[in-house]
Amino acid sequence: MSQMRLDSVRSMYDERSEQYDENTVHVRQAQDYLEWAQLKRGESVLDLGWGTGLVTLGAKRAVGESGHVVGIDISEGMLNVASRKAAAAGLEITFINHDISDLSSPEILPKFSRSFDVITFGIVPGGRLVTDVQTKDANLVMNIFAAIAPEVGESVPWDAHRWHSPQALEDLMVEAGLKVDKIWETGSYATTQYDPATASQIYEQAVSKSMFKNFGRDEIREKTKGLFVDRLAELAGAYGFNC
């Protein structure tokens, strides 16, 4: 990942860190992760991209004092929030501020935890993997910006790839040499209705956030806004409702 993209991702999550837990979607996803992982006392867990520790803290409670939990995340803002929460709860967790896309050096991890029973977003031989991906219909605003980015000479700091079916994801896992225990689509974590009549306001609200601010630059704002409004209207017509 390029340094520019790393900086963009870091800034995006630093800005969101203090309000991150206010989004019930994140809380519900974390609860599902812990249920899916089926953690046991004494196990070791590596949480890649821990955020504010919603999964990490729950994992430590599940594995107990005899278990180890290590979290790695690029955002210092998220680190500060997660560390405060762990300290307040009296939980001993190792938090490492680092880019999860570059774990090539074994020195990144503490010596006691070079192997793990459960990993979120990664895997080692003999371990269990718990991960999730967004489907092609998830997050309308993100999808629109990802679609129009090439037309305005911009890029998005997130992976714009969407899986078209659970089978496509399962095929990838099998190709990677993993044994798939279960794969499925969850219900929607949040339902937001967007009225095409307010597309301009939706655009303005979006570009006021760090996640989409590059699409609000003066030199491309007019073109980007027009493309955004048109694309949202197209999707609303395609689905037959205010999407």
Looking up tokens 């997050």 gives 139
- The predicted structure's pLDDT at residue 120: 61
Position of tokens 């955004």? 228
Q: What average pLDDT does the structure give for the chain?
A: 83
DSSP state of 126: T
Nearest-CA neighbor of 214 among 12, 27, 73? 12
Residue with tokens 């999964």: 55
Q: Tell me how far apart the alpha carbons of residues 120 and 143 are, in angstroms, rounded to a whole number.
A: 24
Q: pLDDT higher for 123 or 111?
A: 111
Domain spanning 3-129, CATH class: alpha beta
* 3 state DSSP class of 188: coil
- The arithmetic mean of pLDDT across residues 31-52, rounded, is 89
Task: Kindly indicate the confidence band of residue 243, based on its pLDDT and cuts at 50, 70 and 90.
Answer: very low
pTM for the model stands at 0.70
What is the rounded CA–CA span in Å between residue 6 and residue 25? 24
As given in the structure block, the two tokens for residue 50 are: 């821990």
Rg (CA), the chain: 20
Pick from 110-124, 145-159, 172-186, 227-241 the range whose average pLDDT is largest: 145-159
pLDDT value for 183: 82
What are the angstrom distances between the C-alpha of 32 and each of 26, 59, 162, 206? 10, 12, 21, 28
Provide the terminal-to-terminal Cα distance of the chain, rounded to the nearest Å.
Answer: 33
pLDDT of residue 125: 58
Using the predicted structure, report yes or no on whether residue 113 has a pLDDT greater than 70: no
Per-residue pLDDT for 57 more than 60? yes
Residue that wins the pLDDT comparison between 110 and 115? 110
**Measured between alpha carbons, how far is residue 78 from residues 50, 72, 73, 169 in Å?**
8, 10, 8, 29
pLDDT score of 50: 85
Q: Comparing C-alpha atoms, which of 59, 125, 134 is closest to residue 94?
A: 59
Domain boundaries, the chain: 3-129, 140-239
Q: How confident is the model at residue 242 (pLDDT cuts 50, 70, 90)?
A: very low
Return the sign of the alpha-carbon dihedral for residues 71, 73, 79, 82: negative
For residues 45 and 37, give the distance between their C-alpha atoms in angstroms, rounded to a whole number.
10
Higher pLDDT, 164 or 214: 214
Separation of alpha carbons 222 and 148, rounded Å: 13
